[in-house]
Structure 1
Amino acid sequence: MSADGTEIAYERSGSGPAVVLVASAPADRSDTVKLAALLTEHFTVVDYDRRGRGASGDADAYAVDREIEDIAARVDQVGASENTSRFRLDPHVA
């Protein structure tokens, strides 16, 4: 569930340091399922559908702040802290 009450669908798998996968703008978690499977041997992976995509609900109006809140909620679910290492992977570059 998101901060504004929108249902956010996700899958959690594996164990180890936390990794939250965020699919590209038009995609849902089906685009990152293979990557998630590879990472679960060494990481706790949260793979989710961004709001308005896949099995997640939609909000009345799009807002970047809601997207950030959704990511923060997934990070909280895996117990990651501010000291957790961060990295970025951009599989789709225009």
Structure 2
Amino acid sequence: MADTPRSKGTVKWFNQDKGFGFITPQDGSSDVFVHYTAIRSDGYRSLTDGQSVEYLIVYENDGRPSAVDVTLATTGDVTSATTGEVTPATTGEVTPAV
């Protein structure tokens, strides 16, 4: 996976109680499923709606894409696929919303 390019996107929504959500890819492709176990973090693994993230894509047995090795975006800006708004990327650990 070291040579696999990382994708960038914005968290569309993430349900902390159920531990899953969806990412809207920056390239405009279909939304990508994300499970809390795919989030790289030393602490509580969760995402917040609107966060800019980087991830790898794997395809499930049914052909649907899933995000793995999910981290907060560290460089560049991410454009929201839903609003077209440019959001500066954030840095640091993934932290739970309070």
For the aligned pair, the TM-score class normalised by the smaller chain equals under 0.3
Bigger fraction of residues in helix: 1
TM-score (norm 2): 0.26
**Which structure is higher in RCO with an 8 Å CA cutoff and minimum separation 6?**
1
Bigger fraction of residues in strand: 2
